[in-house]
Structure 1
Amino acid sequence: MAAQHIGPVVVGVDGSESALDAVRWAAAEAASRNVPLRLVAVFSPLPAAPRHDMGLTAAYLEQVSASLRATLELSTEVAAGAAPGIEIDSELRTGYPAQVLTDESRSAVLTVVGSRGLGGFTGLLVGSVAVSLAAHGDSPVLVVRGDRKPGSGLPVLLGVDGSPAGEAAVGTGFAEASRRSVPLRALHAWSDVVVDPAVAVLIDHQAWETEERALLAERLAGWSATFPDVEVERIVVRDRPAHALVEHSADAGLVVVGSRGRGGLAGLVLGSVGQAVLRHAQCPVLVVRG
């Protein structure tokens, strides 16, 4: 039987400090998974230029290409220092960051990007790159933010929405906690803000919370059996999901969320909840597509 192919950890680099932080995280992730690390810089083509500007365009192309090659060399040195002994390769690709990284994710076990950058990665979280990558990438996507260092020993914070689409995120949350040998905090947030105020006074919030706790327990039960080594803390809060996740990220080493779901986490990443988590979480965020 043929050996199963295990892809690399892919990281997008652009020379910014944020991207170098992403490189350090990606190197640590590659080492812990015993897979290669692949560094990718993206050279975005210029818009069509008038013929009389071709000399300037050629000079610009050469200057940017040289700068990106130097960026790959520096990133390789940083990665080797962060995780000595790992296998590293790099490539300068032409295209647009979201498209290139989505393509790279098809053969990756994990795709890593920084929270802000230069050049093609400018405005990563407030623009379309991270959203597009999280929505269309084939691998989990790690957006490195905050000042956490790999191996911090802090818990993994898992957002659980109770939907079948969120099962992949739940499984990944357990796996990440097990691999890091840290506790897992499973957070389920529910809110009655969509209830008509005229009937809100009739709601039995105690019964509602009991049902939400039962839902969380049901979603975790099978995975707890699969990962008996993981200590699980269940957190059920009456709050807006994005607000709850951002607040609890203050003492977490990693936040794990699904790319879409229902209830409080519906439309995660593509909607306002996910964008808020990506913009305001105080630690790296791992987005898992279901």
Structure 2
Amino acid sequence: MGRIVVGYDGSPYSQAALSWARDEAVRTGAPIEVFHADEWPATAPPMVPLPLLRPDRTVAEVIDEILEKAVAAVRKTHPAVDVTTRAVRGHAAAALIDRSRDARLIVLGGHGHSVVAGLLGSVISAVSAHARCPVVVVRGVPEPDAAVIAGVDGSELTLPVLLFAAERATARKVPLRVIRADPEQAAAGAPVAVVRERFPGLTIQVEDTLEHPAAALARASAAAQLLVVGSRGRGAVTGLLLGSISQHLLRHSACTVAVIHREVS
């Protein structure tokens, strides 16, 4: 079982990501890795001597302090959670995508100027598109009894999306809402039946929509604590949920978004 890897830079948004990961670790028993990608000198202003801007030892100490404080906060409130740190040199998105090969989940904060190492939402876009494990982008402060939503379209990722969502709904003891955007709804019916069989105590509500998927899912997210969708690994949410729609959900969902990839079984 891989670690839950949290992109962390000490910002409130990365702290929210760590809080979500901590709760997930409590429910699943998975260990946490607090991960920082140091992009210097890629982000240095031009024409400035690097030694004047970057005393390596001092910056390394600051990074270590940020990560140590994060670990201490988790251990103070949840001493049973296994939490470690990792700091690497390199571009944040590339480092996280590489780390995803052995991770259980990648968890990122959903707002703010810095996500892992001072980049804008391009980190979220790249990692959510190309990671080799599920990516969770933490947004909002949902009610604890709010439902989990799975957005599906009858593609090959429908069952993995439903299973991921059903596991989280079961752990949280909340209903699972399945919103199907599929011109041939029968194609999505069999995976729902599989999930009903595997999770007999879970309340599952199925809704078919002809509305634009971005609008339907974004609106539904206002009454949810987690929205789960799929990605084929090209920056797009599967099937009807293509291109700009996936980015719309990652930026404008009222709740946390989980993106499931082709490699997830």
Structures share fold, TM-score greater than 0.5: yes
- How many residue pairs end up in the alignment? 255
List per-residue Cα deviations over 1:217-262 (Å, max 9, x = no partner).
Answer: 3331122111112110011122110111110011111000001365
Aligned with 1:29 (options 24, 31, 38)? 24
Q: Deviations over 1:100-132 (max 9, x none)?
A: 1112211111110101342724312xx2x1222
Structure 2 counterpart of 1:14, one-letter code: D
Aligned to 2:92: 97
Contact 1:37 1:87 in 2 (8 A): yes
Given that 1:141 and 1:288 are in contact with CA atoms closer than 8 Å, whether structure 2 keeps it comes out as yes
Structure 1 position 181, deviation (Å): 1.9
Aligned amino acid, residue 135 of structure 2: V
**Aligned residue in 1 for 2:207:** 235
What fraction of aligned residue pairs are identical, expressed as a percent? Answer: 32
Residue-by-residue CA offset, 1:28-48 (whole Å, 9 max, x unaligned): 111211121110111112149
Q: Does structure 2 retain, via aligned residues, the 8 Å contact 1:23–1:78?
A: no
Q: CA separation in 2, counterparts of 1:79 and 1:14?
A: 15
Q: Distance in 2 between matches of 1:50 and 1:285?
A: 36
Q: Which structure features the higher share of helix residues?
A: 1
**1:274 aligns to 2:246 (yes or no):** yes
**Does the aligned pair in 2 maintain the 1:24–1:78 contact within 8 Å?**
no
Partner-residue secondary structure (3-state), 2:103: coil
Mapped partners of 1:110, 1:171: distance in 2: 15
User: Displacement of 1:153 after TM fit?
Assistant: 2.5
Question: Structure 2 matches for 1:173-212, cutoff 5 A?
Answer: 173-189=165-181, 212=185
Q: Normalising by structure 1, report the TM-score.
A: 0.80
Matched, 1:42 2:8: no
Task: Identify the range of structure 1 (161-170 vs 43-52) with the bigger mean alpha-carbon deviation.
Answer: 43-52
What secondary structure does 1:162 align onto? coil
In structure 1, C-alpha distance between the alignment counterparts of 2:181 and 2:125, rounded to whole Å: 22
Q: How does 1:251-262 map to 2 (within 5 A)?
A: 251-260=223-232
Residues 133/177 of structure 1: CA separation in 2 closer, same or farther (3 Å cut): same
Aligned residue type for 2:105: L
Contact 2:148 2:224 in 1 (8 A): yes
Q: Which protein has the bigger strand share?
A: 2
Larger radius of gyration: 1
Is residue 2:14 matched to residue 1:12? Answer: no
Aligned equivalent of 2:161: 169
Alignment equivalent of 2:51, drawn from 35, 52, 55: 55
What letter is aligned with 2:256?
A: P
Equivalent residue letter for 2:240: G
Question: 1:55 and 1:132 mapped to 2: Cα distance?
Answer: 30
Letter in 1 for 2:23: A
After TM superposition, the structure 1 stretch with the greater mean CA deviation from structure 2, 11-20 or 129-138, is 129-138
* 1:146 corresponding residue in structure 2: 140
- Aligned residue in 1 for 2:148: 156
- Cα deviation for residue 57 of structure 1 reads 4.1
Contact (CA 8 Å) 2:4, 2:30: kept in 1 or not?
yes
Distance 1:16 1:31 in 2: 23
Question: 2:5–2:106: 8 Å Cα contact kept in structure 1?
Answer: yes
- Partner deviation per Cα, 1:265-290 (whole Å, 9 max, x = no partner): 2x3xxx11100100110110010002
The answer as to 2:234 corresponding to 1:264 is no
Task: List structure 1 runs of 4+ shifted beyond 6 angstroms.
Answer: 48-52
Q: Where in structure 2 are there 5+ consecutive unaligned residues?
A: none
State the alpha-carbon separation in 1 of the partners of residues 101 and 110 from structure 2.
21
Name the residue aligned to 1:116. 111
In structure 2, relative to structure 1, the CA distance for the partners of 1:137 and 1:54 (3 Å cut) is closer
Deviates more, 1:110-119 or 1:132-141: 110-119
Q: Deviations along 1:186-208, whole A, 9 cap, x unmatched?
A: 00136xxxxxxxxxxxxxxxxx7
- What is the 5 A alignment of 1:77-92? 77-92=72-87
Question: Which amino acid letter does the alignment assign opposite residue 32 of structure 2?
Answer: L
In 2, the alpha carbon distance for the partners of 1:50 and 1:162 equals 49
Separation in structure 1 between the aligned mates of residue 84 and residue 125 of structure 2, nearest angstrom:
26
The Cα of 1:54 is off from its aligned counterpart by 4.8
SS in 2 for 1:109: strand
Unaligned 5+ segments in structure 1 are: 1-5, 191-207
- SS in structure 2 opposite 1:93? strand
Q: Does 1:67 align with 2:40?
A: no
